[in-house]
Amino acid sequence: MATASFSRMSGLRRLSVVVFATAAVFVASAVATAAPPHGHEPSPHGAQFVALGDSGAATTGKISLDLHAPIRCMQSTVNSPKLVAAQLGLVLDDRSCSGAKIAHLATSQAAGIAPQFDALGPATKVVTLHIGANDVPTTRNHVECHLDSLAAGDCATAAAAWPQRTEAIAGAYGAALDEIARRAPEAQIFVDGWPTYVREQSCPAVLLTPGAATTVQRGYDLLNSLVAREATKRGAIYIDTRGPGIGHDACAPDTERWIEPLLAGDTLMPFHLTPLGMRGVADLIAFSVRTHLTTR
């Protein structure tokens, strides 16, 4: 049932915000794509610390772009892998890349971007992995939920499809973990999950009905459960960021949020990690790495 906060008049206004936010991300991606790529030189024995993943590990949007990495990847100099490496004094080869799917671990994502697995080798001791959201795909699910919210709906279509879309990536995700272990037999693999994205009661900043907000968060929870399950099967370490992220979701004050709202702030990346979020996730990863490497 429609409420005053989700009226027809405000629905048109929200739709313009959705279009604006989407356009901002498209422009940022187009600029990155147009820039000349820079490839990685593979290490014959593998880097000590290899970071694999998508934009959840790679970028803080337009903030602090790392010009030594492929520009299309939109890597940040203050992303979680680099912060972890700095905390622990590890030599890092950061292969995380915005837009990456599981297949791009083993194949080139675009011209000038080597397969992420190329960084692995017998000298690798630590591997972090954050990937899978683009395979589900969460962006499609988000869009469905936002469009449904314009009609004061609860995102029933995405709610019904999200579990199947998530479970469909299990085989590829598990195979990727197996390949990491094969290429880097001395490494401990750390898999970090997705933080809390949106609270159940929703808020104007995310432009989702409470029902749709619940659907979105459940979708990320499903993805967390899947990667935790596949990681645990193979002796990899799953790092929970969902619990520590409570209270830091997209509805939190900008001084506390780990996740950008729909109309993103400085990063121009809706529903991506803020710089504060990158630091929060990095602290969790660094603690886990430090704990498990000292007990091996």
137 upstream amide cis, omega within 30 of 0: yes
Residue 77: partners with Cβ closer than 8 Å, 6 or more residues away: 64, 65, 66
Q: Is residue 169 part of a domain?
A: yes
| 41, 96 contact by CB (below 8 A) | no
For residue 96 the two structure tokens come to 């995380």
The share of the chain scoring above pLDDT 70, in percent, equals 85
* Selected residue with higher pLDDT from 247 and 26: 247
Closest CA to 207 of 156, 284, 145, 165: 145
Q: Is residue 43 part of a domain?
A: no
Sign of the Cα pseudo-torsion (272, 276, 279, 281, in order): negative
Q: What is the pLDDT of residues 25-68, one digit of tens each?
A: 433 443 333 333 334 455 678 899 999 999 999 999 999 999 99
- What gap in Å lies between CA 64 and CA 166, rounded to an integer? 32
Within the chain, residue ranges assigned H as helices are 8-34, 55-58, 80-88, 138-150, 156-167, 170-183, 210-233, 275-295
CA distances from 100 to 193, 203, 285 (A): 16, 30, 21
Q: What is the pLDDT of residues 257-285, one digit of tens each?
A: 999 999 898 899 999 999 999 999 999 99
Q: Which of 24-33, 96-105, 192-201, 204-213 has the lowest mean pLDDT?
A: 24-33
- What gap in Å lies between CA 132 and CA 130, rounded to an integer? 7
Average per-residue pLDDT for the chain: 86
Within 35-78, residue ranges assigned H as helices are 55-58
pLDDT, residue 151, reads: 81
Q: What is the pLDDT of residues 152-176, one digit of tens each?
A: 778 888 888 889 999 999 999 999 9
Q: How many CA atoms lie within 13 A of 164 on its CB side?
A: 5
Confidence class for position 147, pLDDT limits 50, 70, 90: confident
Q: What is the pTM of this model?
A: 0.86
Q: Which of 42-51, 71-80, 91-100 has the lowest mean pLDDT?
A: 42-51
Confidence class for position 195, pLDDT limits 50, 70, 90: very high
Q: Is residue 67 part of a domain?
A: yes
The residues annotated as belonging to the active site are 55, 272
Number of compact structural domains in the chain: 1
- What gap in Å lies between CA 185 and CA 179, rounded to an integer? 10
Q: Which of 82-91, 227-236, 262-271 has the lowest mean pLDDT?
A: 262-271
Q: Are strands 126-130 and 92-94 parallel, antiparallel or unpaired?
A: unpaired
- Residue 205, pLDDT above cutoff 50: yes
pLDDT, residue 150, reads: 84
Q: Is residue 53 part of a domain?
A: yes
Boundaries of domain holding 68: 4-38+48-295
Whichever domain contains 180, its CATH number is 3.40.50.1110
pLDDT, residue 149, reads: 87
